[in-house]
Amino acid sequence: MKKFFSIILILLIIVAAVLLYRANTHFANQQYQVSQPLEPIELNQSAVLERFSQAIQIKTISYDDRSQFDHQAFAAFHDYLATSFPLVNQHTEQTRIDNYSIVYHLKGQNQQLQPALFMGHMDVVPIEEASLAQWQQPPFSGKIVDDVIWGRGTIDDKVSVVALMEAMERLISEGIQPQRSIYFAFGHDEEAGGEGAKAVARYFAEQNVRFEFILDEGGVVTDGIIPGPSQPVALVGIAEKGFVNFELSVQGEGGHSSQPPEHTAAGIVAQAIVNIENNPFSTKLDFFELMFAHIGFATPLSSRLPLANLWLLSPLVEKILLSKASSAAGVRTTTAVTMLQGSNKSNVLPTVASAVVNFRILPGDTIDSIRQHLEEVIDNPLVQLEAQLANEASTVSSTESLGFKLIESTIRRLDDQILVAPYLVLGATDSRHFQGLSDNIYRFMMVSLNPTTLKQFHGVNEQISVKDYLQAIQFYYAIVKQAAEG
């Protein structure tokens, strides 16, 4: 028996040694090594901030109810772009798509180089009336107070639109002679489904235009959000989840509740929901592993040890990730029951009962595979399934492409304290409509968010620091310039 325990002890020591060795050797520093930092351009700060403030003041709001669309506001924003950036207006070819989305084209001299596309959207989400009193500055004031710019759109996503235009205006003023064609595409209804972006994508397809890379909104520079690294981490989206609503419906006979059947239509739907929630989709650590392959070297031993030894500790890592909704959403297709409907009176049996379940689809899963999963776990032919508002998960773009390398190096050359990592975008962006136009689609804004400011995204007191906005202009200037130079 003593010999047996000795063998067990030796095995445990060997396993511990292997775990520690891998923790200290598995993650190499893959970050772009900066040998020549980018020299920031001089900006007329007061003029730049005034133009951005003006953009925030124009109420380009997207409502789910399309009848509330404010045509005058979007026309005013078009006028603002034309008058605020006269060189862009003069030296680029502009095409109006679906009335209000805009494409800008700065023609390159080398037609052998595929163009680059930079995207943003002009619209913003509405302000809840009940939240108005909580805003420290009026939400469409564009006020600049204590080096902070306030208002809806400062983060999502007028920051991209206006900073891109500032960058292009500056480049044209410097007499840029682009080798590669540069396109800007600004949608007008991203917050309401992106019909404008769909139309823009169709336009490019009809013109047989394919892009070397596409950069849209999505990732940001996170500060204190990613566990482990003490440095800020720039998350560059290389893919985004898809989405689909499945409506579950059951037909019933109706009648008075005093003589119910064994299971009413509502009861059958309720059981189906229980079965769905009790059978979540399996976890996949692919994106999590890819992210930490880039930043794992900068994490403490307590993080590196399990991450470097997923061959043994993946169940523990999965349990930790699934314990929080924010991290769980990154490792599996999520299930959210959002709507229920039955009878309209307490003593009337429903003739139809229904529920809507929203799924955010992890790349690798599909709408068809979700339907198959639902049929298996519900296991009741009385429950009818109908897919609504469906959009497949995106393809996964390479981290070895010109586009990713250019984004990564530009971030690092502006600030080498920032680590860069690929990640999966959990929400939806306009870039989802451009899958057929490039193999390399990325999602990133040079905006810094921490756990507090992250809540302002679509929330109360949306704001951006003056420093961050000016840095966004520097980023777009540098990356557009490098892309244009070929």
Catalytic residues, by residue number, are 123, 190
3-state SS string for the chain? CHHHHHHHHHHHHHHHHHHHHHHHHCCCCCCCCCCCCCCCCCCCHHHHHHHHHHHHHCCCECCCCHHHCCHHHHHHHHHHHHHHCHHHHHHCEEEEECCCEEEEEECCCCCCCCCEEEEEECCECCCCHHHHHHCCCCCCCCCEECCEEECCCCCCCHHHHHHHHHHHHHHHHCCCCCCCCEEEEEECCHHHCCHHHHHHHHHHHHCCCCCCEEEEEEEEEECCCCCCCCCCEEEEEEEECEEEEEEEEEECCCCECCCCCCCCHHHHHHHHHHHHHCCCCCCCCHHHHHHHHHHHHHCCHHHHHHHCCHHHHHHHHHHHHHCCHHHHCCCCCEEEEEEEECCCCCCECCCEEEEEEEEEECECECHHHHHHHHHHHHCCCCCEEEEEEEECCCCCCCCCCHHHHHHHHHHHHHCCCCEEEEEEECCCCHHHHHHHHCCCEEEEEEEEECCCHHHHCCCCCCEEEHHHHHHHHHHHHHHHHHHHHC
Tokens of residue 9, six digits: 């002890």
148-150/242-251 β-pairing = unpaired
Backbone φ, ψ for residue 47 (5° rounding): -70, -40
CA distance 277 to 116: 43
Measuring CA to CA, which residue among 457, 440, 345, 458 is closest to residue 395?
440
* Cβ partners under 8 Å of residue 363, min gap 6: 239, 241, 242, 393, 394, 395, 396, 424
CA 317 to chain centre: 24
233-240/213-222 β-pairing = antiparallel
